[in-house]
Structure 1
Amino acid sequence: MDVPTATVAATPRPLQAIRALAVGSLVALVALDVTWDLALAQIKPSGLWTALKVLPLCAAVPGMLRHRMYTYRWMALLVWLYFTEGVVRAWVERGLNQWLAGAEILLCLLLFAACGIHVRERLGWRKSP
Protein backbone atom coordinates (compact mmCIF):
# COMPACT_ATOMS: atom_id res chain seq x y z
CA MET A 1 0.00 0.00 0.00
CA ASP A 2 1.51 3.29 -1.08
CA VAL A 3 1.40 6.47 0.92
CA PRO A 4 -0.99 8.97 -0.70
CA THR A 5 0.62 12.06 -2.22
CA ALA A 6 -1.40 14.35 0.05
CA THR A 7 -0.01 12.56 3.10
CA VAL A 8 3.56 12.96 1.88
CA ALA A 9 2.97 16.64 1.12
CA ALA A 10 1.54 17.15 4.63
CA THR A 11 4.59 15.56 6.25
CA PRO A 12 6.54 17.98 8.46
CA ARG A 13 9.82 19.22 7.01
CA PRO A 14 12.04 17.64 9.71
CA LEU A 15 10.55 14.22 8.97
CA GLN A 16 11.09 14.75 5.24
CA ALA A 17 14.73 15.58 5.97
CA ILE A 18 15.10 12.43 8.07
CA ARG A 19 13.59 10.37 5.24
CA ALA A 20 15.99 11.94 2.77
CA LEU A 21 18.91 11.19 5.10
CA ALA A 22 17.79 7.56 5.46
CA VAL A 23 17.36 6.99 1.73
CA GLY A 24 20.54 8.90 0.89
CA SER A 25 22.68 6.99 3.36
CA LEU A 26 21.17 3.69 2.19
CA VAL A 27 21.91 4.43 -1.48
CA ALA A 28 25.41 5.67 -0.57
CA LEU A 29 26.03 2.47 1.41
CA VAL A 30 24.99 0.35 -1.57
CA ALA A 31 27.21 2.37 -3.91
CA LEU A 32 30.16 2.21 -1.52
CA ASP A 33 29.93 -1.54 -1.00
CA VAL A 34 29.53 -2.33 -4.69
CA THR A 35 32.38 -0.03 -5.72
CA TRP A 36 34.60 -1.25 -2.92
CA ASP A 37 34.09 -4.95 -3.62
CA LEU A 38 34.10 -4.83 -7.41
CA ALA A 39 36.68 -2.17 -8.18
CA LEU A 40 38.76 -1.25 -5.15
CA ALA A 41 39.19 -4.52 -3.22
CA GLN A 42 42.58 -6.12 -3.42
CA ILE A 43 41.10 -9.61 -3.68
CA LYS A 44 39.52 -9.51 -7.15
CA PRO A 45 38.26 -13.11 -7.63
CA SER A 46 35.82 -12.89 -4.72
CA GLY A 47 34.62 -9.40 -5.62
CA LEU A 48 31.43 -10.53 -7.33
CA TRP A 49 30.43 -12.85 -4.53
CA THR A 50 31.05 -10.27 -1.85
CA ALA A 51 29.14 -7.68 -3.85
CA LEU A 52 26.03 -9.86 -3.48
CA LYS A 53 25.91 -8.78 0.15
CA VAL A 54 24.22 -5.54 -0.94
CA LEU A 55 21.09 -7.34 -2.18
CA PRO A 56 19.25 -6.96 1.16
CA LEU A 57 20.04 -3.24 1.06
CA CYS A 58 18.72 -2.99 -2.50
CA ALA A 59 15.53 -4.75 -1.41
CA ALA A 60 14.93 -2.00 1.15
CA VAL A 61 15.12 0.92 -1.28
CA PRO A 62 11.55 0.65 -2.68
CA GLY A 63 10.03 0.35 0.80
CA MET A 64 11.95 3.33 2.08
CA LEU A 65 10.97 5.41 -0.93
CA ARG A 66 7.33 4.52 -0.22
CA HIS A 67 7.78 5.48 3.46
CA ARG A 68 6.83 2.04 4.76
CA MET A 69 7.28 1.85 8.51
CA TYR A 70 8.07 -1.87 8.40
CA THR A 71 11.04 -1.27 6.08
CA TYR A 72 12.48 1.42 8.35
CA ARG A 73 12.15 -0.94 11.31
CA TRP A 74 13.92 -3.92 9.79
CA MET A 75 16.56 -1.73 8.20
CA ALA A 76 17.44 -0.35 11.64
CA LEU A 77 18.25 -3.93 12.65
CA LEU A 78 19.90 -5.11 9.43
CA VAL A 79 22.30 -2.18 9.25
CA TRP A 80 24.21 -3.54 12.25
CA LEU A 81 25.52 -6.43 10.13
CA TYR A 82 27.10 -3.93 7.74
CA PHE A 83 28.37 -1.88 10.68
CA THR A 84 30.07 -4.99 12.08
CA GLU A 85 31.68 -5.71 8.72
CA GLY A 86 32.97 -2.14 8.61
CA VAL A 87 34.45 -2.37 12.11
CA VAL A 88 36.16 -5.67 11.34
CA ARG A 89 37.58 -4.41 8.05
CA ALA A 90 38.71 -1.14 9.64
CA TRP A 91 40.55 -3.13 12.29
CA VAL A 92 42.16 -5.66 9.92
CA GLU A 93 42.87 -3.79 6.71
CA ARG A 94 45.18 -0.87 6.03
CA GLY A 95 45.42 2.03 3.61
CA LEU A 96 42.49 2.85 1.35
CA ASN A 97 40.46 -0.13 2.56
CA GLN A 98 40.65 1.13 6.12
CA TRP A 99 39.30 4.53 5.03
CA LEU A 100 36.51 2.84 3.06
CA ALA A 101 35.63 0.79 6.13
CA GLY A 102 35.43 4.02 8.13
CA ALA A 103 33.07 5.45 5.52
CA GLU A 104 30.94 2.30 5.77
CA ILE A 105 30.78 2.69 9.56
CA LEU A 106 29.74 6.33 9.24
CA LEU A 107 27.02 5.54 6.68
CA CYS A 108 25.69 2.73 8.86
CA LEU A 109 25.47 5.03 11.87
CA LEU A 110 23.68 7.69 9.82
CA LEU A 111 21.25 5.11 8.43
CA PHE A 112 20.51 3.67 11.87
CA ALA A 113 19.95 7.10 13.40
CA ALA A 114 17.70 8.20 10.54
CA CYS A 115 15.63 5.00 10.71
CA GLY A 116 15.31 5.24 14.47
CA ILE A 117 14.25 8.88 14.41
CA HIS A 118 11.83 8.21 11.56
CA VAL A 119 10.12 5.38 13.44
CA ARG A 120 10.00 7.42 16.63
CA GLU A 121 8.45 10.42 14.90
CA ARG A 122 5.94 8.35 12.95
CA LEU A 123 4.76 6.64 16.12
CA GLY A 124 4.33 10.01 17.78
CA TRP A 125 6.58 9.39 20.78
CA ARG A 126 7.60 13.05 20.82
CA LYS A 127 4.09 14.34 21.40
CA SER A 128 3.45 15.63 24.87
CA PRO A 129 0.55 14.13 26.85
Structure 2
Amino acid sequence: MPAVTSLPAAVPGAPTLPAPSTPPDAFVRGTRIVAVASLLAMIVLGLAWELWLAPTGQRTWALKVLPLALPLAGLLKHRLYTYRWVSLLVWLYFAEGIVRATSSQGPVVWLAWGQVLLCVLLFGACAAHVRWRLAQVKAKTLAKESAS
Protein backbone atom coordinates (compact mmCIF):
# COMPACT_ATOMS: atom_id res chain seq x y z
CA MET A 1 0.00 0.00 0.00
CA PRO A 2 1.53 3.34 -1.02
CA ALA A 3 2.14 5.96 1.62
CA VAL A 4 0.34 9.27 1.32
CA THR A 5 2.89 12.05 1.32
CA SER A 6 0.65 15.07 0.96
CA LEU A 7 -2.97 16.03 1.24
CA PRO A 8 -4.88 16.87 -1.93
CA ALA A 9 -5.42 20.53 -2.70
CA ALA A 10 -8.80 22.03 -1.87
CA VAL A 11 -11.31 21.88 -4.69
CA PRO A 12 -12.58 25.34 -5.61
CA GLY A 13 -16.14 25.82 -4.41
CA ALA A 14 -16.00 22.86 -2.03
CA PRO A 15 -16.86 23.51 1.60
CA THR A 16 -13.86 23.98 3.82
CA LEU A 17 -13.38 22.86 7.36
CA PRO A 18 -13.48 25.60 9.95
CA ALA A 19 -10.16 26.82 11.24
CA PRO A 20 -9.13 25.56 14.65
CA SER A 21 -10.74 27.75 17.26
CA THR A 22 -8.55 30.30 18.90
CA PRO A 23 -8.49 30.41 22.66
CA PRO A 24 -11.22 32.69 23.97
CA ASP A 25 -10.28 36.03 25.40
CA ALA A 26 -10.58 36.85 29.08
CA PHE A 27 -14.08 38.36 28.82
CA VAL A 28 -15.50 35.28 27.09
CA ARG A 29 -13.82 33.01 29.64
CA GLY A 30 -15.24 35.12 32.46
CA THR A 31 -18.79 35.05 31.13
CA ARG A 32 -18.54 31.30 30.59
CA ILE A 33 -17.35 30.78 34.17
CA VAL A 34 -20.21 32.87 35.56
CA ALA A 35 -22.77 31.14 33.30
CA VAL A 36 -21.62 27.62 34.13
CA ALA A 37 -21.24 28.37 37.85
CA SER A 38 -24.70 29.92 38.12
CA LEU A 39 -26.24 27.08 36.11
CA LEU A 40 -24.62 24.48 38.37
CA ALA A 41 -25.68 26.45 41.44
CA MET A 42 -29.27 26.53 40.14
CA ILE A 43 -29.19 22.74 39.72
CA VAL A 44 -27.80 22.20 43.23
CA LEU A 45 -30.23 24.72 44.74
CA GLY A 46 -33.20 23.14 42.96
CA LEU A 47 -32.30 19.64 44.10
CA ALA A 48 -31.52 20.68 47.68
CA TRP A 49 -34.66 22.78 47.85
CA GLU A 50 -37.06 20.10 46.65
CA LEU A 51 -35.38 17.08 48.25
CA TRP A 52 -34.15 18.30 51.66
CA LEU A 53 -34.56 21.97 52.57
CA ALA A 54 -38.26 22.60 51.87
CA PRO A 55 -39.75 19.69 49.91
CA THR A 56 -43.20 20.03 48.42
CA GLY A 57 -45.46 17.04 47.95
CA GLN A 58 -43.75 13.80 47.05
CA ARG A 59 -40.52 15.52 46.04
CA THR A 60 -41.29 15.14 42.35
CA TRP A 61 -40.64 18.85 41.86
CA ALA A 62 -36.94 17.98 41.91
CA LEU A 63 -37.40 16.97 38.28
CA LYS A 64 -37.62 20.66 37.40
CA VAL A 65 -33.83 20.82 37.30
CA LEU A 66 -33.53 18.32 34.44
CA PRO A 67 -33.88 20.99 31.72
CA LEU A 68 -31.03 22.88 33.38
CA ALA A 69 -28.67 19.94 32.89
CA LEU A 70 -29.17 19.89 29.11
CA PRO A 71 -27.25 23.06 28.19
CA LEU A 72 -24.22 22.37 30.36
CA ALA A 73 -22.19 20.70 27.60
CA GLY A 74 -23.00 23.47 25.13
CA LEU A 75 -21.94 26.17 27.56
CA LEU A 76 -18.66 24.41 28.21
CA LYS A 77 -18.03 24.07 24.46
CA HIS A 78 -18.71 27.79 23.79
CA ARG A 79 -21.71 27.06 21.55
CA LEU A 80 -23.28 30.43 20.86
CA TYR A 81 -26.68 28.90 20.13
CA THR A 82 -26.73 27.33 23.60
CA TYR A 83 -25.99 30.66 25.26
CA ARG A 84 -28.87 32.18 23.30
CA TRP A 85 -31.52 29.66 24.27
CA VAL A 86 -30.37 29.40 27.88
CA SER A 87 -30.92 33.15 28.18
CA LEU A 88 -34.56 32.46 27.29
CA LEU A 89 -34.99 29.27 29.35
CA VAL A 90 -33.79 30.97 32.52
CA TRP A 91 -36.85 33.25 32.59
CA LEU A 92 -39.08 30.27 33.44
CA TYR A 93 -37.04 29.69 36.58
CA PHE A 94 -36.99 33.44 37.29
CA ALA A 95 -40.79 33.55 37.13
CA GLU A 96 -41.06 30.53 39.42
CA GLY A 97 -38.67 32.15 41.90
CA ILE A 98 -40.57 35.44 41.95
CA VAL A 99 -43.92 33.69 42.42
CA ARG A 100 -42.66 31.49 45.23
CA ALA A 101 -40.75 34.33 46.91
CA THR A 102 -43.83 36.54 47.06
CA SER A 103 -46.45 33.91 47.84
CA SER A 104 -44.73 31.53 50.28
CA GLN A 105 -43.49 31.73 53.83
CA GLY A 106 -40.57 30.39 55.79
CA PRO A 107 -37.33 29.15 54.23
CA VAL A 108 -38.96 28.91 50.80
CA VAL A 109 -38.82 32.70 50.51
CA TRP A 110 -35.02 32.80 50.88
CA LEU A 111 -34.54 29.83 48.57
CA ALA A 112 -36.73 31.50 45.95
CA TRP A 113 -34.82 34.78 46.17
CA GLY A 114 -31.60 32.77 45.78
CA GLN A 115 -33.02 31.24 42.63
CA VAL A 116 -33.97 34.68 41.32
CA LEU A 117 -30.45 35.96 41.95
CA LEU A 118 -28.91 32.98 40.16
CA CYS A 119 -31.28 33.49 37.23
CA VAL A 120 -30.24 37.12 36.89
CA LEU A 121 -26.56 36.12 37.00
CA LEU A 122 -27.08 33.41 34.39
CA PHE A 123 -29.03 35.70 32.09
CA GLY A 124 -26.48 38.50 32.43
CA ALA A 125 -23.57 36.19 31.70
CA CYS A 126 -25.30 34.65 28.68
CA ALA A 127 -26.38 38.01 27.28
CA ALA A 128 -22.91 39.52 27.71
CA HIS A 129 -21.31 36.42 26.18
CA VAL A 130 -23.54 36.53 23.10
CA ARG A 131 -23.17 40.28 22.60
CA TRP A 132 -19.37 40.13 22.93
CA ARG A 133 -18.95 37.22 20.55
CA LEU A 134 -21.26 38.72 17.92
CA ALA A 135 -19.38 42.01 18.17
CA GLN A 136 -16.10 40.14 17.65
CA VAL A 137 -17.46 38.39 14.56
CA LYS A 138 -18.71 41.71 13.19
CA ALA A 139 -15.34 43.36 13.85
CA LYS A 140 -13.49 40.54 12.07
CA THR A 141 -15.86 40.72 9.12
CA LEU A 142 -15.39 44.47 8.81
CA ALA A 143 -11.61 44.07 9.06
CA LYS A 144 -11.62 41.47 6.26
CA GLU A 145 -13.81 43.69 4.06
CA SER A 146 -11.61 46.73 4.59
CA ALA A 147 -8.48 44.70 3.87
CA SER A 148 -9.76 43.53 0.50
TM-score (norm 2): 0.76
CA contact (8 A) 1:90 1:102 kept: yes
RMSD of equivalent CA atoms: 1.9
User: Which residue does 2:35 correspond to in 1?
Assistant: 22
User: Which residue does 1:124 correspond to in 2?
Assistant: 135
Matched, 1:86 2:114: no
Alignment deviations for residues 22-60 of structure 1 (CA, whole Å, 9 cap, x no partner): 000000001000110011124341x1x211111110001
| Identity level (%) | 48
Q: Where in structure 2 are the equivalents of 1:1-129 lying within 5 Å?
A: 7=22, 10-45=23-58, 47=59, 49-124=60-135
Bigger relative contact order (CA 8 A; separation at least 6): 1
Which has the larger Rg? 2
Supply the AA of the counterpart residue of 1:71: T
TM-score (norm 1): 0.86
Higher helix share: 1
Supply the AA of the counterpart residue of 1:26: L
Gapped regions of structure 2 (runs ≥ 5): 1-19, 143-148
Moved over 3 A (4+): none
Name the count of aligned residue pairs. 121
Deviation at 1:14, TM superposition (A): 1.6
Gapped regions of structure 1 (runs ≥ 5): none
Deviation at 1:103, TM superposition (A): 0.3
